[in-house]
Amino acid sequence: KQEVTQIPAALSVPEGENLVLNCSFTDSAIYNLQWFRQDPGKGLTSLLLIQSSQREQTSGRLNASLDKSSGRSTLYIAASQPGDSATYLCAVIPQGGKLIFGQGTELSVKP
């Protein structure tokens, strides 16, 4: 059974720092991996999707990598800003199309 784990559970950094969020999954048989952002009481905003054949995806200050064989993905945020404060969720799509989510990393960027 696929399990997705995210560490750390919470992270607090000063503005301007570069940071890395980690995601691991137990079964490497995935079609893709998606990173989301969730603001308190709000929906999920898709940030990046990495296909299983890809190693990384970039969007602005965000870079996500995928190492399927080791069951790991990282989300790198460059030059963090207070507006980046949110919970970041990692989710994998195994066969079948449904997403399996990690528990998230709650990020706080202090001005």
Partner 1 sequence: EPEVTQTPSHQVTQMGQEVILRCVPISNHLYFYWYRQILGQKVEFLVSFYNNEISEKSEIFDDQFSVERPDGSNFTLKIRSTKLEDSAMYFCASSSDRQGKLFFGSGTQLSVL
Binding site for partner 1 (CB under 8 A): 31-32, 34, 36, 41-46, 49, 89, 91, 93, 96-104
Nearer to partner 1, 13 or 44 (CB): 44
Query: Strands (DSSP E) along the chain, which ranges?
Result: 4-7, 10-14, 19-25, 32-38, 44-51, 56-59, 62-67, 72-77, 86-93, 100-101, 105-110
Nearer to partner 1, 65 or 80 (CB): 65
Closest distance to partner 1 from the beta carbon of 85 (Å): 18
Instruction: Check: CB of residue 101 under 8 Å from CB of residue 5.
Output: no
Nearer to partner 1, 20 or 31 (CB): 31
